[in-house]
Amino acid sequence: MESEKELLYKKILRMKCFLVFAPCQYGINIVRRWDYGIKLERIPFKTRGLRGMSYPGARPQPDIILLNSKRSEIEQNFDCGHEMVHLAIHRNLNKKVFNCFDRSTAPNQDPFLEWQANEGAAEFFVPYRFFIPLLKECVGNNPKRGDINEFKRYAAELCCVPPAVIKYRIESLKYEILQYYSGVDINDLQLISKRQQERMGLYIKSLNEIAHNDNFDIYSYIEMKTALAGTRTAFT
């Protein structure tokens, strides 16, 4: 049975192909070259924490995306991807509008729908088949906190997203990252959401958690978690 993350990524792949992007394409700036049949407007929102809004259009009316012009172009780029995911996979929920806020100011948002929009947009801009090998190549097997911070800045610029998205990606893919370090082929990774990991009793440390002036011996951590699991197949 496919996991909720795997099913979501398949939907994002279809969305990406529909927009004529390659499956693992990165560095996409959709707000700079907007031509997708959706009405896009940028306005200075007055509501605190509001990042974007999307309105599924009833034919012949077009879909509409509104972005907060007070945010940077790179932030708006990710926000736009977030709204596009809502329009692509949530349009049959009969919602008239999707209002998307900062996490700290979100009023009564559906956490699962927002997870899908955030995770889906992250996969759209930072595809895991590209991202995980890049991370391993850049930070190696024993990274320090400074290595991770430098990688976040580098990957963010490469993928046209804010560094916060790369931090989110490192967190949401922490189990898949350790699988890859364990020798699992990138195409054979088990894709599992944080919610499903917790249901399975999987509690994995991420590279975001490296303490100041400390380092993270990834292979020693994998061996430790494998030993605790009582099997050599904890990640493979």
The per-residue pLDDT for range 59-116, each reduced to its tens digit, is: 888 999 999 999 999 999 999 999 999 999 999 998 999 999 887 556 678 889 999 9
Q: Which two tokens stand for residue 101?
A: 């806020």
- Every domain of the chain and the residues it spans: 4-125, 129-229
- Dump pLDDT digits (tens) for 12-41: 999 999 999 999 999 999 998 787 888 999
What is the separation of C-alpha 137 from the centre of its chain, rounded to a whole number of angstroms? Answer: 20
pTM: 0.93
Element (H, E) at 111: helix 111-125
> Dihedral (C-alpha) 192, 193, 199, 204: value to the nearest 10 degrees?
80
Q: Is the peptide bond before 60 cis (omega within 30 degrees of 0)?
A: yes
Does CATH number 1.10.8 belong to domain 4-125? Answer: no
